[in-house]
Structure formats: structure tokens, C-alpha cells
Amino acid sequence: MGMSQYGMKGHGKLAIGVLGVALAAAFAAPAQAEDPIKIGVIAESQAIAGASIPQAAQMAADEINAAGGINGRKIEIVTYDNKSSATDSVRAFQRAVSEDHVNAVIASYISEVVLALEPWAARLKTVMITPGAASNEIPKAVHADYEHNKYTFHGYLTSAALSQEVCDAAKDLLVAGYGMKTSVIMSEDAAWTKPLDEGYEECLPKIGLKVLDHVRFSPDTTDFTPIFNKIEAAKPDVIITGISHVGVQPTVQWKSQQVPLPMLGISSQATNSTFWKDTNGSTDGVLFQAVSASDVAVTAKTKPFAEGFKKRFGNYPSYAGYTAYDEVYYIADAVKRANSTDSDKLVEALEKTDWIGTVGRVQFYGRDDPFTHSIKYGKDLSGLILQWQDGKQVTVWPAALATGKLQFPAFLKVTAAK
């Protein structure tokens, strides 16, 4: 009898214990919401254009956290240096998802890297946004197989949009301003420049710049003398560039050899304010495309971010710094609107993004557009053309945002149109 009594008491304690655990769990449920929102950042931390990516992402997270986070949850940035390697990037992506349990990934300014990661974003059902890769193939893959590839977003302009922007600017600045009629395309041989160069080939003649020659060089090129000699022999009015992984070497040699032709186009490294020092000032006069700049209020957010970045890191960000900063903000905004970090819900929320960032108004093309999930290029996000002048990056296009006029070094034989 006594035994069963004790037994009963024991069971009673057990039942209360279980109930207590259940109650505690019920009360603890809201505490789960306090888990941080984790964003993985896989980038080229040692590269001139890539270094700004993790720095800008951290800056955005710190600002969001200082303002109370998202629904009370902090943003945590987990960074991985991919050493500019696709293999290292894939390993980092797998680790980010399986071990570090990130909710989304911001990855790379290199198209080959993003193209290698896109199938992994599909397999691991994890949102990935690139702050700087340009290849048309990234959004085209989303369009071709939406159900699988919908987790990838293209947070930078496609090569098609970039070539269009360069042509729009060249028409205003060089054809109208200097009466230029001929060009030579000079691009590094890479995934992102194939569609860029196709775009150039198509739009340059339309704006009145005949293409006399088209040079594609290996990114490993160390001596650009023969390339510049070949271009000079064609006697064009301008060199239209598509360079990203290289930049210092051709710019230094362009100056040291006094190549009498202006350069306008994509030069990713030139977007970082360290480029003047990196080239010992050889970049003076170079015209390059950017999505944002420190000297111009593309939006009310642009200058405060650029100045805050410089104060914290010692230099103005590269183009991918502006986009990475915006991406952390609109990922956080999507989490807030979805009230969830579930990947599919996050995709739906990101598709409805309408965010005023440092680069302009960010919206994504929909499923019916060939560039599904790429940011829209147009009046709300038109990009800029800057020129290096006396150690500073000066915005020269579009006219509505320009902070200065074109100034060319003496060795460039260019005269303004009458």
C-alpha cells in the first residue's frame, strides 16, 4: 500500500514536472523570436573592389541593430573570405547554411563565383543576392527555371544594362560633347564581359561611335604595351572598357605610355577611392561607370553612407559597397514584411521590394522578364559616370546629378565639339 502511495506521488511529481516543462516551453516560444537574423557574406575581402562588401554589410547591420533590430531581432553578419575562388565560395556557402545556419547570403562581385553558387542556392533553398556580379546568365537562369533558381537575386546591374548605360553616357559626353565618331572596345576575357561586349557592339554604332576593333585580353596580362599599340594603330577617338579583375596595370601603362585616347566604360577597381593611390595618380582622366558616388546625393542616403564608411574604414566604398549596404537593409525589410526568415516567404517578400537605397530606387524584374530577379535599370536607378580628377572621383553624368565637368590630362588629344 505504502509503496503505491509513494508511487502515485512520484507520478504526480512527474506529471507536474512535464506540465512545468511544457509551460516553460510555451512561455519560451516568443523568446525564440529573439534569435538573430543571420546574413552570410561571401566576398573577395582582399580585392580592391571586393573589400568594401563585408565592411558595408557590417555597417548596415550595426545601424539596424542600433535602431532596435527587426521586430526586436538583431542582424548578425557572418563573413567568409572566398579569396576570389569559386571553389572556396561553394565551400563557404555550404558551411554558411549547414553549420552557421544563415538566413540569407550576400555573395561576391565575380560572375563566375555567383554562377557557381546559383545551383547551391537552389539545392539548399537559401536566398542569395549578389552585390556586384554582372553576368546576364545569373538572372536568365532564374527566368529559365524559376522554381529551382528563384532563391537567387541579382542586386547589381546586368551586363546588358551596363553596356546600355555606358552607351547612354558616351552619347551625351563624347559624341555630343566632343564630336567623337570612332571607338575600340577593350575588355578582359570573363563571363561578365561576353554579354557586355555584345551590348557594346550593338549600341555603340547606334549612338554614332563606330567600332573599329575589339580587343579581349586575358585577366593575367601583365604588359599592356602590345594591346595599346594595336588600339592606337586603329586610330579611334575613344577606348570603351570592360575591366574588373584587372585595372591597376592597364591604367598605369595607359598613363606611362601616354596613350592619347580617353578611356570610358566599366573599370570596377576605379570605383574604390583607393584607386588613385593604387595607380600613383595614373587614373587621372579615366571615366568609369558606378551605381553611386560619394560626391552626389543619388538619394538622401548616399552621402551619409559614403561619409560614414570613410570615417570608419578610411576610404570611400567601391561600387559593391553601396549595393551590399542596401542589400542588408532590404533583406531586413523583407524579413520584417514576411514576418519570417522562411526562404520561400523571403523570396516572395524580396520580389515585392521597393526600397530607396544609396544607389536609387531598388525594384526587381518579375518572372516574365528575361532578367528575372535583377534590379531594374531606368530613371529611378540610372547609374552614374565618374571621372578621376586631381585625386577625386567627380560625377560627370547624368547632367542632373553631375558635380563637375569633363577634364582630360594634357596627353589626351581631345577637343570639345564646336
Query: What cell was used for 130?
Result: 549578389
Instruction: Assign 398 to helix, strand or coil.
Output: coil
CA 212 to CA 339: how far, in whole Å?
55
Instruction: Say what the pLDDT of residue 8 is.
Output: 40
Instruction: Say what the pLDDT of residue 25 is.
Output: 47
Q: Would you say the C-alpha torsion 395, 401, 404, 408 has a positive or negative sign?
A: positive
Q: Compute CA 324 distance to the chain's CA centroid, rounded to the nearest angstrom.
A: 6
Query: What cell was used for 76?
Result: 548578425
In terms of C-beta distances under 8 Å and separation of at least 24 residues, what long-range contacts does 159-162 make, across chains too? Answer: 159/134, 159/135, 159/192, 159/193, 159/194, 159/195, 159/196, 159/199, 160/136, 160/195, 160/196, 160/199, 160/371, 161/374, 161/377, 161/383, 162/134, 162/196, 162/199, 162/266, 162/289, 162/383
Q: Going residue by residue through the chain, which has 418 residues, state the pLDDT in tens, using 9 for 90 and above.
A: 444 433 444 444 444 455 555 544 444 444 445 799 999 999 999 988 899 999 999 999 999 999 999 999 999 999 999 999 999 999 999 999 999 999 999 999 999 999 999 999 999 999 999 999 999 999 999 999 999 999 999 999 999 999 999 999 999 999 999 999 999 999 999 988 999 999 999 999 999 999 999 999 999 999 999 999 999 999 999 999 999 888 789 999 999 999 999 999 999 888 888 899 999 999 999 999 998 888 899 999 999 999 999 999 999 998 899 999 999 999 999 999 999 999 999 999 999 999 999 999 999 999 999 999 999 998 888 889 999 999 999 999 999 999 999 999 999 988 887 6
Instruction: Say what the pLDDT of residue 347 is.
Output: 98
Instruction: Say what the pLDDT of residue 9 is.
Output: 41
CA angle 71-33-67, nearest 5°?
A: 30
Nearest one of 316, 232, 304 to 274, comparing CA atoms = 316
CA 84 to CA 97: how far, in whole Å?
20
Amino acid identity, residue 356?
A: I
Q: How many helices (H) and strands (E) does the chain have?
A: 15, 14
Instruction: Say what the pLDDT of residue 418 is.
Output: 60
Query: What cell was used for 291?
Result: 551605381
Contact 213, 236 (CB under 8 A): yes
Domains belonging to the chain, first-starting first, are 37-157+300-362 (3.40.50.2300), 160-290+383-397 (3.40.50.2300)
CA 389 to CA 369: how far, in whole Å?
39
